[in-house]
Amino acid sequence: MRLLYTVIYYLAVPVVMLRQIWRARRDRRHIERLPERFGFIGPITGQQTRIWLHTVSVGEFLGALPLIHQLLARPNTELIVTCMTLTGSERIRASLGDRVHHFYMPYDLPGAIRRFIKTAEPDLLVIMETELWPNTLAECHARGVATLLINARLSERSAKGYARLPRLTTAMLSRLGGAAIQQQMDAERFVQLGLDREKVQVTGNIKFDVELTQSMREQALSLQEQWTLGGQRKVWLVASTHPGEDEIVLDTLARLRKRGIASGQLLLVLVPRHPERFDQVAQMARRAGFEIERRTSGTAPGIATDVLLGDTMGELQLMYGASDFVFMGGSLAPVGGHNFIEAALWAKPLLSGPHLFNFSGVSAMLREAEALRVVEGAESLTAELVGLIGDDTRAQSMGAAALNVAEANRGALDKTLKMIESLV
């Protein structure tokens, strides 16, 4: 079964490479470090304990950042941090510089992984969330590299997918040295797929342990002053949208304008999930008749600005802090939602669509606390926003409830660190 998987993966690699080459027409960074994808990296010297942490992209990296800071403070320890995406790589370099060794994650090919491990010589591979790759785990197991899955979650949909390949999945999970899992229902799904119950610990979600520094709070307050024109209008942040969602959001804004809520009363900050969609969404907003500014222009949104396009990287955390209410994308389209926790830490009232299967546990807690309201489309989203704009007490109550959920679920970081300590 693993051989069949590897053959299929080999066939998929040229398709992935062609996609990278196509993207490189506009940005050569997509192919500049292509050898790393095949495990070719420069030598790493030193005799310290070496922990390899894999975070697939920006969201996973930011969630792992408190853990990374704790590990960097550990004596005689150095970190290798890998990711899969250009945006993830940019964020790692901007946040950590040369404090860690950073590379792209090699493709899940036996030769590439073997080559990477031989050069990097990690003592432990820590995998953030559910980035499980059969050849990576097999090669680590064969070469005595301990492995730990952290902050793991497994939706019912994903579990069904793994269950279709029982032999491959069971073999893969058997090679894990341990698993720090967000919730009990996730743990049960992993066990049903073949993960040894003795290796499982339900730790909670380490993203609840993110700390908002005083500097971040001051920057967010400054941004809020600018966007609200000194408190004259509300800011509605729509984060991480996918194709099909921006149209609904802009339709909602048009409905709000028809109800008399003008640009001087409400600014929409619209942040597409993927940078390659920035121009497309900007054009969409203009075609809909809205006055738009782009964050990268450096021009502050004026009183006539309807939409501020969030076309920068690494600012979403501050944007949560500068907003009055947050709609989380990936939920009107059947993507499964995105992480609510950062917005909850800023005590913001939360809105989303109905597709939340990737964050079912967190969204359930927020809904039960009345911090999150779920809408089906433009009509119900309009109604919710009208209610929030006209009722500050309700908005503050929802935001406080969101923060309470976040505060009540701290502690996963310490449990995760203890599991790491047991393996190195």
Q: Average pLDDT, stretch 15-23?
A: 81
Q: Which fold has domain 2-205+411-421?
A: Rossmann fold (3.40.50)
267 pairs with which residues across the strands? 235
Question: In what helix (H) or strand (E) does residue 290 lie, and over which residues does it extend?
Answer: none
pLDDT of 10 higher than 80: no
**Domain regions of the chain by residue span:** 2-205+411-421, 214-408
Edge-to-edge strands of the sheet including 200-202? 101-104, 77-83, 49-54, 124-128, 146-152, 178-181, 200-202
Tell me the CA distances in angstroms from 276 to 131, 230, 295, one per residue in order: 24, 33, 15
Please report the pLDDT score of residue 274 as a whole number. 87
Q: At what angle do helices 58-72 and 86-96 cross, to 10 degrees?
A: 30
- Cα distance between residue 12 and residue 9, in whole Å: 5
If one counts every other C-beta atom within 10 angstroms of the C-beta of residue 201, the result is 15
Band the pLDDT of 12: cuts 50, 70, 90.
Answer: confident
pLDDT of residue 305: 97
Percent of the chain scoring above 90 in pLDDT: 81
Q: Are 93 and 123 in contact (CB under 8 A)?
A: no
Out of 60, 78, 131, 342, the active site residue is 60
Prediction pTM value: 0.85
Q: Assess whether pLDDT exceeds 80 at residue 226.
A: yes
Q: How far is CA 135 from CA 138, 169, 380, in A?
A: 5, 12, 46
As a whole number of angstroms, the distance between CA 107 and CA 124 comes to 19
What are 169-198's pLDDT values in tens digits?
999 999 999 999 999 999 999 999 999 999
30 by DSSP, 3-state: which? helix
Confidence of residue 136 (pLDDT cuts 50, 70, 90): very high
Each residue of 71-96: pLDDT tens digit? Answer: 999 999 999 999 998 889 998 999 99
Element (H, E) at 365: helix 360-368
* Fold held by 214-408: Rossmann fold (3.40.50)
pLDDT at res. 276:
87
54: left (phi over 0), alpha (psi -120 to 50) or beta: beta
Average pLDDT over residues 59-64: 88
Question: How would residue 58 be classed by pLDDT, with cut points 50, 70 and 90?
Answer: confident
Residues, the chain, total? 424
Q: Measured between alpha carbons, how far is 412 from 378 in angstroms, rounded to an integer? A: 37
Measured distance CA(305)–CA(254) in Å, rounded? 13
pLDDT at residue 8, as a whole number: 81
60 is an active site residue: yes
Q: Is 188 exposed, middle or buried (0-12, 13-18, 19+ CB in 10 A)?
A: middle
Residue 26 confidence (pLDDT) above 80:
no
Residue 42 has pLDDT above 80, yes or no: yes
Q: Render the burial of 16-44: b for 16+ CB within 10 Å, e for the rest.
A: eeeeeeeeeeeeeebeeeeebbbbebeee
Going by the DSSP 8-state scheme, the letter that residue 20 receives in this structure is: H
In angstroms, rounded to a whole number, what is the distance separating the alpha carbons of residues 288 and 414?
49
Collapsed DSSP state (helix, strand, coil) of residue 151: strand
* Cβ neighbour number for residue 75 with a 10 Å cutoff: 6
pLDDT of res. 249: 98
Strands 101-104 and 372-374: unpaired
pLDDT score for 106: 95
Instruction: Give the pLDDT confidence score for residue 299 in this predicted structure.
Output: 92
Given a cut of 90, whether residue 46 has pLDDT beyond it is no
> Would you say residue 18 has pLDDT above 90?
no
3-state secondary structure of 201: strand
Output the six-digit token pair for 6: 């590897």
Nearest to 307 by CA among 272, 274, 337, 344: 272
Can 2-205+411-421 and 214-408 be said to share one CATH topology? yes
pLDDT of residue 412: 94
The per-residue pLDDT of the chain, averaged, comes to 93
| Residue of 2 and 194 predicted with greater confidence | 194
Whether pLDDT at 318 is above 80 = yes
Rounded CA gap, 178 and 201, in Å?
Answer: 8
How far is residue 221's CA from residue 321's CA, in Å, rounded to a whole number? 7
Give residue 424's pLDDT. 87
pLDDT in the model for residue 258: 97
Q: Is the pLDDT reported for residue 27 higher than 90?
A: no
